Structure 1
Amino acid sequence: MGTVDDALADLPEPGRSCLRHVVAVARSVAPEATEGVSYGMPALKLDGKPLVGVVAAAKHLSIFPFSPAIVEAVAGRLDGYSLSKGTIRFTAEHPLPDSVVEEIVRRRLAEIRP
């Protein structure tokens, strides 16, 4: 297991499975990504730079694309989700669509490897 898998292992269900799914989708788009920590959160990294991070909070789950531009780019597809400059919040009952996670990762890849 790696840093991300270890961090998710201790989370209660259904949040654990939901975040594991988000990470699996991200890995499918960027299989060369490695696990690590960025800004204190478990993250997938590429070329030493954070690709996406995931966190479980008391009342929601979050994905961090480490780019306000990416949050803005996908915002139109996330009606009903809570967004801020650097994060997208969701729940296991209202998970992110796989297509949005894929787009987030593809856009972040393009930022890291222009």
Structure 2
Amino acid sequence: MIRETIKENAPKAEEVISYNIPAFKFHGMLIFYSAYKNHISISIPPSKVYDTFKDELSDYKVSTSAIQLPLNRPLPLKLIKEMTRFRVKENLELAETKKSKKKE
């Protein structure tokens, strides 16, 4: 379900394995996901996503780069969808900024 949700909301992203876990790449690393005994982890490279979705993430264990989604609760697919779209937009903006700086 997580993979499909990410693919639907980042259709141009490339699926890769990075750090030995599944990930999506789109103008840089977009989002990682992995399963553990008691949770699924969504890992996002340094991003404004954690501040932007702070209220929505308050029910989950969140570190500086990962969100733990307990297996005993329904997956927050709407939240994953929104964070994925946010990351796509964020990475596009970063790519444009880098492109602009190279022209200078």
Please point out which of 15, 30, 36 is paired with 1:51.
30
The within-5 A match list for 1:44-83 is 44-47=24-27, 49-83=28-62
Rg larger in 1 or in 2?
A: 2
Q: Tell me the number of residue pairs that the alignment of Structure 1 and Structure 2 aligns.
A: 93
**Equivalent pairs: percent with the same residue?**
27
Counterpart in the other structure of 1:107:
86
* Cα RMSD for the two superposed structures: 1.7
The alignment's TM-score, normalised by the length of structure 2, stands at 0.77
The alignment's TM-score, normalised by the length of structure 1, stands at 0.71
The answer to which of 31-40 and 98-107 deviates more is 31-40
The one-letter code of the counterpart of 1:37 is I
Matched, 1:30 2:13: no
Structure 1 unaligned blocks of 5 or more: 1-20
Separation of aligned partners in 2, 1:67 and 1:57: 22
Report if the CA contact (8 A) 2:7-2:13 is conserved.
Answer: yes
Separation of aligned partners in 2, 1:41 and 1:71: 21
* Structure 1: 4+ residue segments shifted above 4 A: none
